[in-house]
Amino acid sequence: MIHVKKLDIFIAKQFGVLFVGAFFICQFVLMMQFLWKYVNELIGKGLSVEVLAQFFGYMALILVPQALPLAILLSALITFGNLGESSELTAIKAAGISLMQAFRSLIVIVVFISLGSFYFQNVVGPNANMSFARLLMSMKQKSPELEIPEGIFYDGIPQCNLYVQKKNVETGMLYGIMIYRMTDSYEDAAIILADSGMLQSTAEKKHLVLSLYDGEWFENMKSQEFAGSASVPYRRETFVRKKIVLDFDADFNVADAGALSNNSRGKSISQIRHDIDSLTHVYDSIGRAFYHDMRRVSWALPAFSTKDSLRAVKMASTKSFNIDTVYNRMPEEKKLEAVNYAMGQVRSAISDLDFKGMITSDGDRIIRQHRIEEINKFTVALSCLLFFFIGAPLGAIIRKGGLGVPVIISVLVFIVYYIFDNMGYRMARGGMWTVWFGKGIALAVLSPLAVFFTYKANNDSVVFNIDMYRNLLMRLLGLRLKRHVSFKDVIIETPRYDHDVEVLERISAEISEYSRSHNLLFAPNVINVFFRYSPDNSIAVISEELEEVIEDLSNTRDPKILTELSHYPFMAVKAHTRPFERKWLNIAAALVVPVGIFLYIRMWRFRLRLYRDLRAVRHSNSVIVRRIRQMKFEGLRR
């Protein structure tokens, strides 16, 4: 036990040093990738060093949970790769210590890291996310001239809606400008059109100067002194160049967090659950209100007189009543009025449903986002354990340390995890998948991989044997190697020619009999293939006898025989009879129709190949028998 404890401390030290270094490397790489997303908010804003320090500090805190799993994967790979490369892992196993015992100390450490990751996401992460969102909002508002988009209205400037058709980023020129400027209300709005222009901040950062070229100014005069004059309802001005000064405080101010109340990443689990209950209650109330409105409009029972009621009952009881008949009896103007009224009702209902659907869909999206973030706090913590049980066994299997192979494998595993996690997040956010399925698909895909690698490493099984996978693929696709019999420089035993001739002739006779009793050119019976299997040992016996003859004749010095021996094919002795050895696997393959069809066609292909192989064997047998008899006759003549 003393040696095991020392070993735990030794492995923990190796892992700890590598984990710290890998964590900072991963953190730096993720920050650089994350930085490109917000680079436009940093360049040209004149931000102070303090603000930039806050930006990078909050960014680093946000990315800590993402860097932890990748750092664990990389450090575990390098740790056990170094142990395997220096033969220390072999010495550990030779001392009777299993691989799981070597993992013991690191499992405890990774569990604590996972708990720390969960605590960080639940306590530190929400505050960092909220502060980062507020800081980012403030940075976007600092210099709006850099934020003006193309093709849509921009309302970042107070009392103005600005539309720009095209923007030159290098010169700052704006083209195809349309401005809606409101001072008190929409009644005294001004519309400004210009061919081009430029928006710049003043030196004191308190105003924006909008320089416009070749345009027109339309302004409603209702609220001004000309409002009572019918002859001057508005003012119109055509200009070649005009400057407009807009009030705007471009100094950096921290934005209010009230607009970030729906930011689910800035909340702990208790806050998320509380807000989900509140949001569900609010949107359920909205749904009930919509239901009562629809019931009141569509199923309302207006007051009828007794005469109208009796008439309605009478019309309902008559079987010959037809609404189309009533419609056809109406005058043309009444028909047109009825159709227009119906179309108006339908359009009104569609517009109303679109508006209500927009409200309810927005609520569903916010609730899904909160549930995704709640589950994400658990999945990110569990990914630390998952990556350890992928990285540590892989390091023990590969036995390559350093930053070469481990970095490549870590990146590949993380890319697979990121693809599935991002795909699940997008599908869950859009409502196509349930939240638990979308956020759990990455763990579900990689968990069997972790179990497989751990099992293989613990049993010292070969995983990355290229020849094994190549042979498996060749067997699956029905591929095979060509036989090559080469000349031997030293021959200890000469071939038994007489015995080999006898065996080859018997094999040729057996092949002829087998070909007459088995119709290899025809499709096999499906029932016999998958449900009523009968063994076929004839080809196995023929192949075994033929290999013995080939092995014996490979000691000959006759080049013609050696050449003909290379023409013998490697025969598959069972692939033409059934897909699998076990009966239940054949039945299962038949029930799964696409798999059964593939295996049936594959087996038929093996039957056709066996037919060609048997013909090639008979031909080579006859050639070799003739050559041996010719050699014997030539020997008698001498």
pLDDT of residue 635: 67
pLDDT of residue 588: 78
Q: What is the mean pLDDT of residues 544-548?
A: 88
Q: Which residue has the higher pLDDT, 511 or 460?
A: 511
What amino acid is encoded at 304 in this protein?
Answer: F
pLDDT of residue 491: 77
Q: DSSP string spanning 186-226?
A: GGG-EEEEEEEEEEEE-TTSSEEEEEEEEEEEEEE-TTSTT
pLDDT of residue 465: 56
User: Cα torsion at 421, 422, 427, 429 (round to 10°)?
Assistant: 100
Q: What is the mean pLDDT of residues 302-311?
A: 66
**In this model, does residue 11 exceed pLDDT 90?**
no
**In this model, does residue 451 exceed pLDDT 70?**
yes
pLDDT of residue 418: 87
The two tokens of residue 54 are: 């806050």
> CA 59 → CA 55, 318, 436, 471, 611, distances in Å?
6, 76, 27, 49, 69
Q: Which of 482-491, 560-569, 623-632 is least confident?
A: 482-491
**Residue 578: phi, psi to the nearest 5?**
-160, 155
**In this model, does residue 141 exceed pLDDT 60?**
no
Q: Which of 346-355, 466-475, 517-526 is least confident?
A: 466-475
Task: Classify residue 166 by its DSSP letter.
Answer: E
The answer to whether 543 and 536 have CB atoms below 8 angstroms apart is no
Q: What is the mean pLDDT of residues 167-186?
A: 75
pLDDT of residue 40: 67
**In this model, does residue 383 exceed pLDDT 70?**
yes
pLDDT of residue 233: 61
Using one digit for the tens of pLDDT, what is the confidence trace for 419-436?
A: 998 898 888 888 888 888
**In this model, does residue 258 exceed pLDDT 60?**
no
Q: What percent of the chain has pLDDT over 90?
A: 5
**In this model, does residue 538 exceed pLDDT 70?**
yes
Q: Mean pLDDT in the chain?
A: 79
Q: Which residue has the higher pLDDT, 41 or 101?
A: 101
Confidence band for 586, pLDDT divided at 50, 70 and 90? confident
Q: Pinpoint the alpha helices (H) of 518-592.
A: 526-530, 538-553, 559-565, 583-591
Using one digit for the tens of pLDDT, what is the confidence trace for 608-637?
A: 888 888 888 889 889 888 888 888 777 655
* Beta-strand runs (E) in 436-570: none
Return the residue matching tokens 């040729």. 508
Ranked by mean pLDDT, which of 69-78, 135-144, 390-399, 466-475 comes out on top?
Answer: 69-78
Using one digit for the tens of pLDDT, what is the confidence trace for 276-305?
A: 888 887 777 777 777 777 777 666 656 666
pLDDT of residue 113: 92
Q: What is the mean pLDDT of residues 48-68?
A: 85
pLDDT of residue 321: 60
**Residue 167: phi, psi to the nearest 5?**
-135, 135
Q: What is the mean pLDDT of residues 170-174?
A: 77
Rounded Cα distance between 298 and 198, Å, is 54
Rounded Cα distance between 400 and 420, Å, is 28
CB atoms within 10 A of CB 116: 15
Phi/psi zone of residue 573: left (φ > 0), alpha (ψ -120 to 50 degrees), beta?
alpha
Contacts of 150 (CB under 8 A, 6+ apart): 164, 165, 166, 167
CB atoms within 10 A of CB 431: 13
Q: What is the mean pLDDT of residues 65-83?
A: 89
pLDDT of residue 251: 47
**In this model, does residue 335 exceed pLDDT 90?**
no
- CA neighbor of 200 nearest in space, from 170, 172, 161: 172
The two tokens of residue 537 are: 């040992």
What amino acid is encoded at 56 in this protein?
Answer: F
Q: What is the mean pLDDT of residues 383-402?
A: 84
**In this model, does residue 589 exceed pLDDT 80?**
no
Q: What is the mean pLDDT of residues 293-322?
A: 66
User: Cα torsion at 545, 546, 548, 552 (round to 10°)?
Assistant: 140
pLDDT of residue 287: 75
Rounded Cα distance between 521 and 523, Å, is 7
Q: Which of 210-224, 402-416, 432-446, 470-484 is least confident?
A: 470-484
Q: Which of 250-254, 361-365, 617-621 is least confident?
A: 250-254
Q: What is the mean pLDDT of residues 150-178?
A: 79
Confidence band for 185, pLDDT divided at 50, 70 and 90? low
Helix (H) or strand (E) holding 418: helix 405-429
